[in-house]
Structure 1
Amino acid sequence: MSIKFKSKLSEIDVDGKIVQSKHRVIKHTDTVQDLVVTVITKTAAHPEFGNGSSSGFVIDGVEGAYLEFTPGITYKFDQSDSSNANHPLRFYEDSAKATAYTTGVTTSGTPGSAGAYTQIAPTTSTPAVLFYQCSAHSLMGSYVKFGTVTSTDTYSINVAQDGGNVDLNLDAASGTDSTVQLTAGSNITLTRNDANQVTIASTASGGVTVQEEGSSLSTEATTLNFVGDSVTASGTGATKTITITGGSGAGTVTIEKNTITATASQVNFTIDSEPASVNNLQVYLDGVYQAKSNYTFSGNTISINSPTGVDAGVKVEIIHLKVVDARVELNSYTGDGSDRTFSTQSNINNKNNVQVYIDGVYQSKDTYDASGTIVTFNTGNAPPNGTTVELLHIVSTSSENELANYNVSVISANTNAQKDYLYVLTATCTLTLPSAPSVGDSIKISNRSGVATATVARNGKKIMGAAEDLTLDKLNSGFEMIFSGDAQGWILIGVEGVEA
């Protein structure tokens, strides 16, 4: 007599042989599945212990948990616990975070605060495997398997001797695609029986070769080739500078790249020159774009807003857009999953003058159009609900200044100034400058008050490099004020008149 044990998946006899194979049943539910996320210092239980960040995600009490999700069910990663501060959980198509995955993903709140979460609603089109990682630190998480991709295609490899070479030919027995794509991770090595090897090296950690219209300045693994009428490049060390002038009303912009390898808990990073505004900066940690709220600057020092700083070994890239006769406009919005149109402050003369990011991920220019002051995403490409949409617009100030039509305002009482206005002061009063001007903003003033007590209030910005308000002590004077950046503030042009 044989004895059989029954399980949900099969019947097994005493010899451990499967007698009858069965199947697994997963019941659908519309209830959102909650997973509690905390952050701890990694232990040996974490699959990436000793790699990347020293911190790791814990999911429902399991450190570096491997997860399996079912399409059609929504999963919410609750990041309310205070340990999640500065550790936004996001999804990627690879553990190195080279490609972010945002389809069906929504976020809410600030990690470490009540109600903060990242949520994913997988479908049958979701990749079979995604990696959940911290957007600011490396290898804190693990991966999720969705079970959405199956293949019944079979292939065979035919080996043929060709003189001193061995040819490997891929034949599709039942499949429809006979092409195999090898994606380099670290390295892909093909080994022959006699131990001779053919290695396809990864470009994932390679450097960048900067060229001036084909003239190489350095020799790294990949090439960044700028082609145009007026392109100049310089620098052979960690900093590369590309200057692009002219073309479609974008003004003259010099791109300065600073690459720094962080030391343990490093917060401050020094770049070659002082930016005029935070809008002129782009910061990447191990290739992940950082929101403007994640850092500040003072002079030429960039400071990361994190109590623990940046982990040792993280590659910090700081892109500084050094403008000459242009300014950088930043327009930020929150996607709602349906709205496809977003506006800029100034007219877009050329689509190439705009860079668009969704949750820090650069968007290809073929995914949207730009006309006037409106950026319109293609049908089906509306930014997901809760995502941060950033429009970076490079605006020529030379053309603006030439074409600006000034509004005229005759004032005798305290007034808040606006750019592109001519203010005629006819009595004792205070004209308060804008609190957040952009580089190139212009205001004109004519003092017809007949008194020496009219005041221009600086409103937090310097005037002629001094942190002092301006008292109008010249009668019948007329001049222009142009904002040059935080270092010197408002600059006076063409001051005239007689002493009071």
Structure 2
Amino acid sequence: MADQTFAVTVVASGGGNRYRFDGGSQDAETLQLTEGKTYRFTQEDSSNSGHPLRFSTTPDGTHGGGTEYTTGVTTAGTPGSSGAYTEIKVAAKAPLLFYYCSVHSGMGGAAKTIGVGEENLGLAFGHYLTLESADKSTRHRFQNYWVGEDATLSGDSYGFMPFAFSGITITKGGDNQPASIAFPNNELSRPFATVAVEDEYLATITTVLIDPDDKDGFTKLNEYVGQIVTARWDSTSLELSLASVFDAVGADVPRKRITQQLVGHLPLTSRVRVA
């Protein structure tokens, strides 16, 4: 038996079809699904005809280059007919999911997964990434969280690409630790990654605290700048390594603003304000 049921309808909105839930007026709203609970999405309404709802770890699922997520997912019937539904039992430590139409692009949205016992404040961490050539003639900008459209920071537009940033800490013990940016190994990431290493691009990573339900609802926490020095990859992932990290937080530099300091492959410097 499902812990919660959503009645799905499909409406024409914004130049295309969009999913809506329980008679609401919000297109492709962000859902919050708790680990261990079961959610049923009924598609009995006639508007669902030809629009099977499915899940993926990639925005827009197979239309966005991803694959269908099937862990704990069951389907029944034909959308638009009595008894049709898609049901998901959210697995422990399930990834951020996206619901989408397996036939048509642009209909779905995000489905945040929440751990049991976690306090849900509706907030999460996200990153903006700029990869820039030394002569500043070429820039690539990405965000690693989804807001339903390209996000902006300081007037610049950032397209979505999942990536993970690691190697930064906020203690003195984090000094000179390796930092890296990991991407899925696909046709989008490979071309710029190769050039980024060859031309020793600078990477600027901005950490923000975000409200996933509000594309403008973020608080800038910190910014890091580093030089890309190596890359490695396997069949599924690609990782760019940055010069070692100098952690300015807690570095005993009172009442000064640390600014970008890069000399060759010397340590990456975080731009932080130290009280």
TM range (shorter): 0.3 to 0.5
Q: Per chain length, whose mean CA-contact separation is higher, i.e. which structure has more relative contact order (CA < 8 Å, sep 6+)?
A: 2
* TM-score where L is the length of structure 2: 0.43
| Structure with larger Rg | 1
